[in-house]
Chains A and B, each alone.
Chain A
Amino acid sequence: MSAVPGGHDHYFVPEPSPYPILLAGAIFLLGLGAAFLVNSITLGWAPLAGGGGLVAYVLYRWFGRVIGETRAGAYGLQEDRAFRWGMMWFITSEVVFFASLFGVLFYERNIAIPWLASFSDAHSPLSTYAPWPTFHAAWPSGGPAGKPFATVSPWGIPALNTLILLSSGVTITWAHAGLRAGNRGRLGWGLALTILLGATFLVLQAREFAHAYGELGLTLSSGVYGATFFILTGFHGLHVTVGAIMLSAVLARAIKGDFTPQDHFGFEAASWYWHFVDVVWLMLFVFVYWL
């Protein structure tokens, strides 16, 4: 009988590994490059590109190592639970990140804009001193000094994108069901479809961004509307990209023969992340595009 449920006598403690420090170094280079570049010091391209490349490489090797350890049977039930909890808390931290961005949207829209306009309200004792006498509260708003812009209609591409992401949620669930039932075909096709839908989403978003910048006059500088619009949709797009990469890695593993109907946390982790990205999009659709 082993001391630890799951058939292992000892919890798996990995051998010393260079990947953590290499990843830290890579992120340092990335950060350094970014700090230089935002200040127009073109020297920054070197560490940015170098750091970015190194990040990708190290992640590839590190996750590769973990996959190798999985295949070698190093992980039992307790390790599996550690990974599950870890992923869950990681996604929680991402939820906090997006919640903060939504919090900012809420504040700008419901507190800042009305407050700025309140000074010019005729009934206000401050109206004689109003810094922005002609500003009235409305949403969307570019603020008192904002240039006019048009907004992205929710019922065009965004609605389509909502359908796309929701469908991708269905396809990944379908893939999962296939995996649990031992149907490798469903697993593969489900994953592939999900990735395709995700990629389509990204292409459509990119086109919408270009449309916003080009025709609508909606840019990062379009006051708080533009700022919150792009930071929310932009980071969401970034997370969809990361999710799609994760799913692609899972697909590659599935093709290689990894995952059993009982033991497939790698798939589940990517799937949870994908559902999270989907839910964030729903919130975006409702609070950024629609209302």
Chain B
Amino acid sequence: MSATEHTADSPPRGITRWLYATNHKDIGKMYLLFGIAMFLVGGLLAELIRAELLTPTMRVLSPEAYDQVITVHGLVMVFGALMPITAGLANYLIPIMVGAPDMALPRLNNWGFWLLPPAAILLVMPWGLKLIGIGSGTIDAGWTMYAPLSIQSGPGADFAFIAVLLLGLSSTMASINIIVTIINQRAPGMTMMKVPVFVWSWLITALLLIAVFPALMAGVIMLVGDRHFGTHFFSAAGGGDPVLWEHIFWFFGHPEVYILLLPTAGIMPHILATFARKPIYGYKAQVYSFCLIGVLSVVVWAHHMFTSGMPTAANIYFMLSTMAISVPVAVLFFCWFGTLWRGAMSFETPMLFALGYIVLFGIGGLTGLVLSDAAADQQYHNTYFLVAHFHYALFGGPIMGVIAGIYYYLPKVTGRMYSETIGRWHFWLCFIGFNVTFMPQFLLGVAGMPRRIPDYALQFSHLNMISSISAFVLGASQLLMVYNIVRCIRGEGERASDQVWTGARGLEFTLPSPPPFHTFQTPPVVN
């Protein structure tokens, strides 16, 4: 790979640099900062939840408030934190990784980002309105918004549905941009099978987003119809079916979890290879796995609905198809092990988080297999077993993955090394804190504790208290990462070299740290 090409252009000055941005690095940074801020907001909501669950009737939140907090926690973490962070990494890295000067459609890119703050405002505005006496707060039907409960919800729910429409618009536009960039903007000589794994993971992610988000958008429009326009999509009296909403939601919702997962599954090989000082193992296998995961993810959605009373044949089909996804996911694990095997590993913070990802997402995935049994799911569904499963899968996987990615690229993006000591503290507090928070929740589910309850029976007391106290540690530990990020942005810490990490490969590590405002205006030569 040849040397970089950069111009003498310097970035625009002032706030309009960010408001009017067309530069993929700037837009990527905005996505990242927004996502990290939302992660902290979602985390705060999580602490409120765990505070309420510290004792059987803590009463720090009323049941009405509790239902709203759990709903917004879910929506914020999925749509406000994880998706923007992975989109931020995509925006920053994909053009560089394919040797392009920018995304294919830079203004569309900025539009995609700037739709996010309004969506966040709409989601939480009903709380503000409640403070001044209007309405009863925001949506309270869970992030899954099941009808008819969501149809009964107060006015705040409509704000949430419109926020979902804005989020859908943003994600769809971003996905179009990503797909076109990958197809159209690759440097000469960079065939699809030479493109970094992260780029492939985002190609599949973007295709999935286009394939399923419009369905959710259609669905929330129908909810608003049932709420305010007299339609009966989800009401039996008019010939409709509440379970139809479940189908629509999960048709989107299941691929959504792979949309959250795949980008980090794409970053993992980069990080593991760098710190094991070995080439990536099984590139083709991973690419095929991404494709297979993408395809399978859209035909397994009703494993979230095993107790909804679908016909037996449907239950059997969805169980069997869900089990099939374990195969390509296992391939990914195998390739990660293959990348580490007989390497020469060092354990900087990104590597620690990447290894943690393997362990924790492994637990998440394996417990997913347990849940796929349509009969046994009767005992797990909507209990804390499920809550623990999806937190292992979503935090243990994507969140640990984006944290690893953030530490990995922080020196490149800011030009400064973060504090490795603080990073290690973050990792251990996070890893241990996470396990002590969520492992007891498997136990709670098995013991019979349902989810989405603010108060609980006495036999669940001790494990809840352990889980809550640990959750406070887990939450606090994230502030260490915030400290490190702020430190680097402010220009403190050792200067980072171009390559940053001795084992690092890729076009991004041929650029200076931080890269110039414009990069690859003339494409690099790829052999």
A interface residues with partner B (beta carbon < 8 Å)? 3-4, 9-11, 13-21, 23-25, 27-28, 31-32, 34-35, 38-39, 41, 62, 78, 81-82, 85-86, 89-90, 92-94, 96-97, 99-101, 103-104, 107-108, 111-113, 115-116, 131-132, 141-146, 219-228, 230-231
Given the known interface contacts A21-B20, A34-B162, A93-B210, the answer about A13 and B238 at a Cβ–Cβ threshold of 8 Å is: no
Instruction: Provide the residues of chain A in CB contact with B125, threshold 8 Å.
Output: 32
With A27-B118, A107-B247, A112-B244 in contact, do A231 and B221 touch (Cβ < 8 Å)? yes
CB-CB under 8 A from B23, the residues of chain A are: 13
Residues of A within 8 A of B19 (CB): 18, 21
Q: Which residues of B contact A13 (CB under 8 A)?
A: 22-23, 101-102, 106, 518, 521
CA distance in complex: A255, B150 (Å): 51
Which residues of B have CB within 8 Å of A27?
A: 115, 118, 166, 169
B213: chain A residues within 8 A (beta carbon) = 93
Q: How does the 8 Å CB contact mask read for B218-232 relative to A, with 1 for contact and 0 for none?
A: 110110110111111
Which residues of B sit under 8 angstroms from A18, Cβ to Cβ? Answer: 16, 19-20
In the assembled complex, the Cα of A34 lies from the Cα of B115 at a distance in Å of 16
Q: Which of B108, B224, B231 contacts A86 (CB 8 A)?
A: B108
* Residue B402 CB within 8 A of the other chain: no
- B446 close to chain A: CB less than 8 A: no
Asked if B458 is an interface residue, CB under 8 A from chain A, the answer is: no
Contact of B176 among A16, A90, A107, A220 (CB under 8 A): A90
Q: Give every chain A residue within 8 A of B165 (Cβ-Cβ).
A: 31
Which segment, of B37-45, B177-185, B375-383, faces chain A? B177-185
Decide: B238 and A220 in contact? CB cutoff 8 A: no
Closest 4 CB pairs of A and B: A143-B239, A28-B118, A20-B111, A24-B114
**CB-CB < 8 A to B179: which residues of A?**
85, 89
On whether A116 and B239 interact (CB within 8 A), knowing A13-B518, A86-B104, A231-B221, the answer reads yes
User: For the complex, what is the distance from the CA of A220 to the CA of B238, rounded to whole Å?
Assistant: 11
Q: Which residues on B sit within 8 Å (CB–CB) of A24?
A: 111, 114-115, 117-118
Could you give 6 example pairs across A and B, Cβ below 8 Å? A18-B20, A85-B183, A104-B233, A108-B240, A223-B239, A231-B231
Q: Pick from B108, B244, B522: contact of A108, CB below 8 A.
A: B244
**Chain A residues whose C-beta falls within 8 Å of the C-beta of B115 in the assembled complex:** 24, 27
Cα distance A111–B165 in the bound complex, in angstroms: 27
User: Contact at A220–B225, with CB atoms within 8 Å?
Assistant: yes
Residues of chain A within 8 A of B102, CB atoms compared? 11, 13
Name the A residues within 8 Å of B221 (CB-CB): 231
Contact assessment for B239 and A221 in the assembled complex, using a CB-CB cutoff below 8 Å: no
Residue of B20, B104, B236 near A144 (CB, 8 A) is: B236
- A20 near B237 with CB under 8 A, answer no
Residues of A within 8 A of B229 (CB): 220
Q: Which residues of B contact A93 (CB under 8 A)?
A: 172, 176, 210, 213-214
In the assembled complex, the Cα of A93 lies from the Cα of B214 at a distance in Å of: 6
Is residue B155 contacting chain A, with contact meaning CB distance below 8 A? yes
Other than the known A17-B107, A222-B238, what 7 A-B pairs have Cβ atoms closer than 8 Å? A14-B22, A38-B228, A89-B210, A93-B172, A96-B212, A220-B225, A224-B233
B158 touches A96 (CB 8 A): no
Min CB gap A268→B, angstroms: 16
Min CB distance, A233 to chain B, in Å? 13
Contact residues in B for A97 (Cβ distance below 8 Å): 214-215, 217-218
Q: Which A residue's beta carbon lies closest to that of B11?
A: A16
Q: Is the interface of B mostly helix, strand, loop or mixed?
A: helix
* Whole-angstrom distance between the Cβ of A146 and the nearest chain B Cβ: 6
Bound-complex Cα distance A23 to B523 (A)? 32
Q: In the bound complex, do residue A3 and residue B523 qualify as a contact, i.e. CB atoms below 8 Å apart?
A: yes
Residues of chain B touching chain A, judged by Cβ–Cβ distance below 8 Å, are 12, 16-17, 19-23, 100-102, 104-111, 114-115, 117-118, 121-122, 125, 134-135, 155, 158-159, 162-163, 165-166, 169, 172, 175-177, 179-180, 183-185, 188, 210-215, 217-219, 221-222, 224-225, 227-233, 235-241, 244, 247-248, 251, 518, 521-523
Closest CB of chain A to B31's CB: distance in Å? Answer: 13
Across the interface, which residues of A come within 8 angstroms of B105, CB to CB? 82, 86
| Given known contacts A14-B106, A62-B107, A227 and B240 CB-to-CB distance under 8 angstroms | yes
Residues of A within 8 Å of B122, CB to CB, are 28, 31-32, 35
Whether B110 and A17, one on each chain, are in contact in the complex, defined by CB atoms closer than 8 angstroms, is yes
A28 to B217 CA separation, bound complex (whole angstroms)? 16
Decide: A220 near B231, CB < 8 A? Known: A21-B19, A21-B114, A90-B176: yes
B218 CB contacts on chain A under 8 angstroms: 97, 100-101, 104
Chain B residues with CB below 8 A from A85, complex form: 104, 179-180, 183-184
Given A21-B114, A85-B184, A224-B232, decide whether A15 and B104 contact each other with a Cβ distance below 8 A.
no
B238 touches A143 (CB 8 A): yes
Q: In the assembled complex, which residues on chain B have CB atoms less than 8 Å from the CB atom of A227? A: 222, 225, 231-233, 238, 240
Q: Cβ of B522 and Cβ of A81 under 8 Å apart?
A: no
CB neighbours of A31 from chain B (8 A): 118, 122, 162-163, 165-166
Residues of A within 8 A of B106 (CB): 13-14
State whether B107 touches A14 (Cβ < 8 A): yes
What's the nearest-Cβ distance from chain B to residue A124, in Å?
14
Kindly report which residue of chain B lies nearest to residue A14, judged by CB atoms.
Answer: B22
Partner of B241, one of A17, A19, A108, A132: A108
| A20:B238 contact, CB within 8 angstroms | no
Q: How far is the CB of A199 from chain B (nearest CB, A)?
A: 25
Complex contacts, A104 vs chain B, CB 8 Å: 218, 222, 233, 244, 248
Q: A81 touches which one: B12, B184, B212, B227 (CB < 8 A)? A: B184
Q: State A100–B211 Cα separation when bound (angstroms).
A: 10
- Expressed in whole angstroms, the Cα–Cα distance for A38 and B495 within the complex equals 55
> Are A231 and B185 touching (Cβ within 8 A)?
no
Chain A neighbourhood of B518, CB < 8 A? 13
Tell me whether B225 and A96 are in contact (CB under 8 A).
no
A89, A92, A226: most-surrounded residue (chain B CB, <10 A)? A89
| Chain A: minimal CB distance from B44 (Å) | 24
CA distance A41 to B159 in the complex (A): 13
Set of chain B residues within 8 Å of A81, measured between Cβ atoms:
184
Are B239's CB and A112's CB within 8 A? yes
